[in-house]
Amino acid sequence: MEMVQIEKVSKDSVNKAKKKLSPFIIHNLSRLGIIITLLAVWELAAFLKWINPFLLGSPSGIWDETVRLIQSGQLYTDMFATVYGTILGFVIGSLLGSAIGLLLWYSKTLATIIDPFVVALNGLPKIALAPMIIIWFGSGMFSKIILASIATFIVALLSAYQGTHQIDSNLVNLMKSLGSSKGQIFKKVVIPSSLPWIISAFRLNIGFALIAVIGGEFISSDKGLGRMIFVAGNLFNLNVVWVGVLSLMAVAIILYVIVSKMENRLIPWEDSKRQKEN
Amino acid sequence: MMLNSAQAVSDVTKEVGNAIELQGIKKHFYDKDENIIQVIKDITLEIKNKEFISIVGPSGCGKSTMFNIIAGLMQPTEGKVKVLGEDIVSSTGHVGYMMQKDLLFPWRTIIENVSLGLEVKGMTKKEREDIALDYLAKYGLADFAHAYPSTLSGGMRQRVALIRTLAMDPEIILLDEPFSALDYQTRLVLEEEILGILRDFGKTAVLITHDIGEAIAMSDRIAVMTQRPTCVKKIYDVGLAVELGSGMKARADHRYNDFFENIWADLDIQIGRDS
Ligand SMILES: Nc1ncnc2c1ncn2[C@@H]1O[C@H](COP(=O)(O)OP(=O)(O)OP(=O)(O)O)[C@@H](O)[C@H]1O
Ligand SMILES: [Mg+2]
């Protein structure tokens, strides 16, 4: 049995090495090629005045602004503010929402009672609350965290609650036949079996949190990438707008990757299922 | 502690003599249109302490339903259930129930699945993993202790579910087609294993099976059920495995074929009526 396993492992890694290396290089080289070509055409067009660099910006202009904003420390300050507000709001909203969604499993009555409220809140674009939240909590970081928490809370709650409805009733019966209490069933069946739903809400929520924070920063704030983009836009400083947008893109990608990595950590059994199917 | 409480329970059962008593059990369900589906017409059955009894009957007649009632997961519409001399209200953990589906928890590794019942009982991690590993090693699954169920074959999963039931060390074991996903050889080996365990530890076992040969080879008694709504049609006193010492010898005995023909005839009539 062991022999077979060892053979399988080494075969897999050989396959991986063979398969991964060449397409990996080809794909990335092609991507790099596309980006370089695009930037070169853009720069040339701006230089020859085919396009108006004042309205579109130019790669060299963006580069100059990036260097300036990094040296002055402003890019770091703004990026940190946005990331900090997003992560904190995401964590608070998602965890609180998931916990309450799960706990609703205990009381069907309570769940039924609050159901229409949840649905109503879910339909509301959360950014509509931004002016109010900013009036109540000021234009600093705190109001952005609150906004992001609200934006993620309901999605997390609904998702977790839905998860508790997908539980295999046979598993609950099995737990009962072992003589377990409701608390044990909650801990050993309800939570783990809802986890894939909760995690899938996390992936949506990281995006929602970012939208909420940026939206809040647009409306009123003293720092943040949203503010940077908004202010530069009003001044028609397109190169700075580009720096803001590209930084935001980088932030979004990094946060998304982190949450996806978390997924593999938190639900490893789904991973081994996928591996078997492949 | 554990031993003492087990001792206490078996003292009680010795007095009573019956591990399970079903008196006038009826059960019906309602379908989507609120129509009554009569499943169990009337079951009255006494299962003696330390007995091995098999239940055979046509598909869909209500065998699993009967197990759910004995395990305390379902209330009968009418009738009384006594387990170890006490009225059953809800599940107690004295009855180990291996369900028809190999219900493993996908998020638990094999060893965590096997030790589930022990965990519910409140055993420490060390204690329960020692026990689980012993069982896994014995049934050739030690290499898979830390794998997830989705990576195992159907037969292996069924063995894990069986081990989980045994590891609980329950007084009464309900087995709902425990061997259905196993190949024939493994089946024969496991039949002997189970018989050995039951004999050594003096357990009561109820086995649902579609395999008449398996029922004859293992049982003290066999209850043949009718079509739905079901009741006990006939009870055969077999006892070949105990008399001859093994299921294999029981299969080789001349009485084996007689039992087979009789039980087959009982079932055959019903299948004929079904179509
Ligand atoms: N919860 C339920 N609600 C409605 N009908 C049910 C329910 N549980 C079982 N039934 C019905 O009761 C009948 C008997 O089911 P049961 O699972 O007990 O049969 P079985 O004898 O175990 O069959 P098999 O040999 O195929 O496992 C079936 O017709 C089934 O559809
Ligand atoms: Mg069944």
Token pair of A96 as six digits: 């609180």
| Residue B229: cis peptide before it, omega within 30 degrees of 0 | yes
The reported pLDDT for the residue numbered B87 is: 80
Burial-class residue B31 by CB neighbours within 10 Å (0-12, 13-18, 19+): exposed
Neighbouring C-beta atoms of residue B137, cutoff 10 Å: 12
The reported pLDDT for the residue numbered B16 is: 47
**Separation between Cα atoms, residue B211 and residue B228, nearest integer Å:** 19
SS3 A93: helix
pLDDT of B275 over the 50 cut: no
Q: Which sign, positive or negative, has the C-alpha torsion A219, A222, A223, A227?
A: positive
- Closest partner residue to B120 (CB to CB) among A5, A179, A269 is A179
Contact A76, A224 (CB under 8 A): no
pLDDT of B140 over the 50 cut: yes
Per residue in B41-66, pLDDT (tens digit) is: 999 999 999 999 999 999 999 999 99
- Closest partner residue to B73 (CB to CB) among A1, A5, A173 is A173
Ligand 1 pocket check for B101: Cβ under 6 Å:
no
| Structural domains of chain B ordered from first start | 1-94+210-275 (3.40.50.300)
A176 contacts on B by Cβ (under 8 Å): 72-73, 90-91
The reported pLDDT for the residue numbered A272 is: 63
**Quick one: which atom of ligand 1 is closest to the CA of B37?**
5
- Closest partner residue to A269 (CB to CB) among B119, B120, B148 is B148
Give the rounded percent of residues in chain B with a pLDDT score beyond 90.
57
Which residue's alpha carbon is at the smallest distance from atom 14 of ligand 1? B62
The reported pLDDT for the residue numbered A171 is: 92
- Is residue A173 less than 8 Å (CB to CB) from chain B? yes
Interface list for chain B against chain A, based on CB atoms closer than 8 Å: 68, 71-73, 90-97, 99, 101, 103, 105-108, 116-117, 119-121, 143, 147-148, 150-151, 168
Amino acid at B18: N
Which residue's alpha carbon is at the smallest distance from atom 28 of ligand 1? B60
The reported pLDDT for the residue numbered A265 is: 84
Q: Which of residues 5-24 of A touch B (CB under 8 A)?
A: 5
Per residue in B61-113, pLDDT (tens digit) is: 999 999 999 998 889 999 999 998 888 766 667 899 998 887 899 999 999 99
Element (H, E) at A112: helix A108-123
- Closest partner residue to A170 (CB to CB) among B95, B103, B147 is B103
Token pair of A194 as six digits: 């809802």
- Pick the residue of B65, B84, B120 with the most A CBs within 10 A to test the interface with A by mutation: B120
The reported pLDDT for the residue numbered B149 is: 93
Q: Which sign, positive or negative, has the C-alpha torsion A258, A262, A265, A271?
A: negative
Name residue, tokens 């039980």: B263
- Is residue A278 less than 8 Å (CB to CB) from chain B? no
The reported pLDDT for the residue numbered A2 is: 43
Determine the distance separating the centroid of ligand 1 and the alpha carbon of B136, expressed in angstroms: 32
| DSSP letters spanning B250-266 | HHHSHHHHHHHHHHHHH
Per residue in A98-149, pLDDT (tens digit) is: 999 999 999 889 989 988 998 888 889 888 999 999 999 998 999 999 999 9
Determine the residue of B61, B97, B225 to mutate for testing ligand 1's pocket, defined as the one with the most ligand atoms within 8 A of the Cβ atom: B61
As beta bridge partners, residue B234 has B224
DSSP 8-class letter at B1? -
- Is residue A188 less than 8 Å (CB to CB) from chain B? yes
The reported pLDDT for the residue numbered A3 is: 44
Token pair of A263 as six digits: 């997924």
Token pair of A201 as six digits: 């809400």
| Residue B106: cis peptide before it, omega within 30 degrees of 0 | no
Task: pLDDT band for B249, please (50, 70, 90 cuts).
Answer: very high
B147 contacts on A by Cβ (under 8 Å): 272
The reported pLDDT for the residue numbered B4 is: 45
The reported pLDDT for the residue numbered A270 is: 78
A220 phi/psi in degrees, rounded to 5: -165, 125
What is the 3-state composition of chain A as percent helix, strand, coil, each rounded to the nearest 5? 90, 0, 10
Answer whether A195 sits within 8 Å of B107, measured CB to CB: yes
Task: pLDDT band for B210, please (50, 70, 90 cuts).
Answer: very high
How do strand B78-83 and strand B18-30 relate by DSSP bridges? antiparallel
pLDDT of B5 over the 70 cut: no
Residue A26 CB contacts under 8 Å (≥ 6 apart), including other chains: none
Name residue, tokens 């420490």: B124
| DSSP letters spanning B195-212 | HHHHHHHT-EEEEE-S-H
- Is residue A177 less than 8 Å (CB to CB) from chain B? yes
The reported pLDDT for the residue numbered B69 is: 93
Domain chopping of chain A, boundaries: 1-51, 78-277
**Separation between Cα atoms, residue A197 and residue A85, nearest integer Å:** 24
**Quick one: which atom of ligand 1 is closest to the CA of B100?**
27
Name residue, tokens 């107690």: B92
Q: Which residues of chain A have pLDDT under 70?
A: 1-21, 271-278
Return the number of CB contacts < 8 Å for A and B: 69
Ligand 1 pocket check for B265: Cβ under 6 Å:
no
Q: Chain centroid to CA B165: how far?
A: 10
The reported pLDDT for the residue numbered A232 is: 93
- Pick the residue of A174, A274, A276 with the most B CBs within 10 A to test the interface with B by mutation: A174
**Separation between Cα atoms, residue A175 and residue A188, nearest integer Å:** 9
Q: Which residue of A has its CA nearest to B99?
A: A174
Domain A78-277 adopts which CATH fold? MetI-like fold (1.10.3720)
As beta bridge partners, residue B82 has B21, B87
Ligand 1 pocket check for B167: Cβ under 6 Å:
no
**Quick one: which atom of ligand 1 is closest to the CA of B29?**
4
Work out the average pLDDT over B159-171. 89
Contact A175, A184 (CB under 8 A): yes
Contact B178, B214 (CB under 8 A): no
**Separation between Cα atoms, residue A139 and residue A117, nearest integer Å:** 28
- Closest partner residue to A178 (CB to CB) among B106, B117, B148 is B117
SS3 B86: strand
As beta bridge partners, residue B208 has B55, B176
Encode A114-146: b = buried (16+ Cβ within 10 Å), e = exposed: beeebeebeeeebbebbeebbeebebebebbbb
Among B265, B259, B73, which Cα is nearest to A169's?
B73
**Separation between Cα atoms, residue A13 and residue B271, nearest integer Å:** 54
Edge to edge, what strands does the sheet with B52-56 contain?
B86-87, B78-83, B18-30, B36-48, B230-237, B221-225, B52-56, B204-208, B172-176, B95-98
Token pair of A16 as six digits: 């991986």
